[in-house]
Structure 1
Amino acid sequence: MKRLVILGGGTAGTMVAVKLRRKLKKEKWQITVVDQDLQHLYQPGLLLLPFGVYEPHELVRPRDKYLPRGVDLVMGEIDKVDPEAQRVDLMDGRTLDYDYLVIATGTTPRPDQTPGMEEGEWRKSIHEFFTLEGAIALREALADFTGGRLVVHITEMPIKCPVAPLEFTFLADAFFEEKGMRDKVEIVYATPLEGAFTKPVASAHLGTMFEDRNIHMEPDFYIEHIDPETKTMVSMDEREIPFDLLVTIPLNMGADFVARSGLGDDLNYVPVDKGTLLSTRYQNIFAVGDASNIPASKAGSVAHFAVDGFTENFVDHVHGRPMTDLFDGHANCFIESGHGKGLLIDFNYDTEPLTGVYPYPKVGPLSLLKETRANHWGKLAFRHLYWNVLMRGLPMPVSPHMSMAGKETAGTNV
Structure 2
Amino acid sequence: MKNKTILVLGGGLGGVVAATELRENLNDNHRIVMFDKQPQHLYAPSLLWLMVGKRKPQKVTRDLNRLQQKGIEFVNGEITNIDPDRKMVTVNETTYSGNYMIISLGAELTDSPSLKQTGHNFYTLEGAKSFWRALSQFEGGKVVVLVSAKPFKCPAAPYEAALLINDYLQQNDISAEVELYTPEADPMGVAGEEVSENVQNLVEHKGIKYFPEHQWSGISDKKTLRFDNGTETTPDLLAYVPEHRCPQVIRETNLVGESGWIALNDNEMMTTDYEGVYAIGDATGVTLPAGKSLPKAGVFAHKQAETVAHNIATDINEEGSLIKFSGEGQCFLETGSGKAGFASGNFYADPEPDVTMKNPGMWWHWAKIWFEKYWWFKYF
TM-score (norm 1): 0.82
Distance (whole Å) between structure 2 residues aligned to residue 256 and residue 179 of structure 1: 43
Pick from 251, 254, 261 the counterpart of residue 246 of structure 2: 254
Corresponding position of 1:102: 102
Q: Does 1:59 align with 2:60?
A: yes
Q: Does 1:284 align with 2:299?
A: no
Compared CA separation, residues 17 and 68, structure 1 to 2 (3 A): farther
Distance (whole Å) between structure 1 residues aligned to residue 301 and residue 194 of structure 2: 24
Question: What are the Cα deviations for residues 222-275 of structure 1, in whole angstroms up to 9, with x where unaligned?
Answer: 122222x12222223333233222211011223221112342357863222321
Would the aligned equivalents of 1:155 and 1:251 in 2 still touch at CA under 8 Å? yes
Output the amino acid matched with 1:12.
G
Distance (whole Å) between structure 1 residues aligned to residue 158 and residue 280 of structure 2: 23
Corresponding position of 2:289: none
Deviation at 1:86, TM superposition (A): 3.0
How many residues matched? 365
Output the amino acid matched with 2:282.
D
Would the aligned equivalents of 2:38 and 2:77 in 1 still touch at CA under 8 Å? yes
Distance (whole Å) between structure 1 residues aligned to residue 302 and residue 121 of structure 2: 25
Compared CA separation, residues 53 and 135, structure 1 to 2 (3 A): same
Q: Does 1:78 align with 2:76?
A: no
Distance (whole Å) between structure 1 residues aligned to residue 234 and residue 258 of structure 2: 30
Pick from 14, 20, 26 the counterpart of residue 22 of structure 2: 20
Question: What are the Cα deviations for residues 123-170 of structure 1, in whole angstroms up to 9, with x where unaligned?
Answer: xx4112111111110001111222222111112233221111111111
Distance (whole Å) between structure 1 residues aligned to residue 150 and residue 248 of structure 2: 18
- SS of 1:47's equivalent in the other structure is helix
Written as runs of structure 1 = structure 2, the 5 A alignment for 1:340-379 is 340-349=338-347, 350=349, 351-355=353-357, 368=358, 370-379=359-368
Q: Does 1:175 align with 2:177?
A: no
Corresponding position of 1:11: 13
Deviation at 1:47, TM superposition (A): 0.8
Would the aligned equivalents of 2:26 and 2:317 in 1 still touch at CA under 8 Å? no
Q: Does 1:274 align with 2:267?
A: yes
Written as runs of structure 1 = structure 2, the 5 A alignment for 1:14-413 is 14-27=16-29, 29-67=30-68, 69-90=70-91, 92-112=92-112, 116-118=114-116, 122=117, 125-181=118-174, 184-198=175-189, 199=191, 200-227=193-220, 229-265=221-257, 269-272=261-264, 273-279=266-272, 281-294=273-286, 295-316=293-314, 324-349=322-347, 350=349, 351-355=353-357, 368=358, 370-389=359-378, 391=379
Distance (whole Å) between structure 1 residues aligned to residue 245 and residue 321 of structure 2: 29
- SS of 1:314's equivalent in the other structure is helix
Distance (whole Å) between structure 1 residues aligned to residue 316 and residue 182 of structure 2: 43
Distance (whole Å) between structure 2 residues aligned to residue 250 and residue 43 of structure 1: 15
Would the aligned equivalents of 1:231 and 1:244 in 2 still touch at CA under 8 Å? no
Distance (whole Å) between structure 2 residues aligned to residue 388 and residue 39 of structure 1: 16
Would the aligned equivalents of 1:256 and 1:268 in 2 still touch at CA under 8 Å? no
Deviation at 1:316, TM superposition (A): 4.6
- SS of 2:296's equivalent in the other structure is coil
Structure 1: segments with no counterpart, 5+ residues: 356-367, 393-414
- SS of 1:52's equivalent in the other structure is coil
Compared CA separation, residues 161 and 373, structure 1 to 2 (3 A): same
Deviation at 1:110, TM superposition (A): 1.4
Output the amino acid matched with 1:249.
V
Would the aligned equivalents of 2:147 and 2:181 in 1 still touch at CA under 8 Å? yes
Distance (whole Å) between structure 2 residues aligned to residue 86 and residue 207 of structure 1: 45
Compared CA separation, residues 188 and 69, structure 1 to 2 (3 A): closer
Distance (whole Å) between structure 2 residues aligned to residue 60 and residue 266 of structure 1: 34
Would the aligned equivalents of 1:5 and 1:101 in 2 still touch at CA under 8 Å? yes
Would the aligned equivalents of 1:296 and 1:348 in 2 still touch at CA under 8 Å? no
TM-score (norm 2): 0.88
Would the aligned equivalents of 1:276 and 1:323 in 2 still touch at CA under 8 Å? no
Would the aligned equivalents of 1:101 and 1:285 in 2 still touch at CA under 8 Å? yes
Distance (whole Å) between structure 2 residues aligned to residue 62 and residue 84 of structure 1: 31
Query: Once the two structures are aligned, what percentage of the paired residues are identical?
Result: 27
Question: What are the Cα deviations for residues 59-92 of structure 1, in whole angstroms up to 9, with x where unaligned?
Answer: 12211223454332222210011223432122x3
Would the aligned equivalents of 1:191 and 1:220 in 2 still touch at CA under 8 Å? yes
Structure 1, 67-76 or 268-277: larger mean CA deviation: 67-76
Distance (whole Å) between structure 1 residues aligned to residue 36 and residue 201 of structure 2: 43
- SS of 1:48's equivalent in the other structure is helix
Deviation at 1:13, TM superposition (A): 1.0
Q: Whose relative contact order is higher, 1 or 2, with alpha carbons under 8 Å and at least 6 apart?
A: 2
Distance (whole Å) between structure 1 residues aligned to residue 148 and residue 81 of structure 2: 27
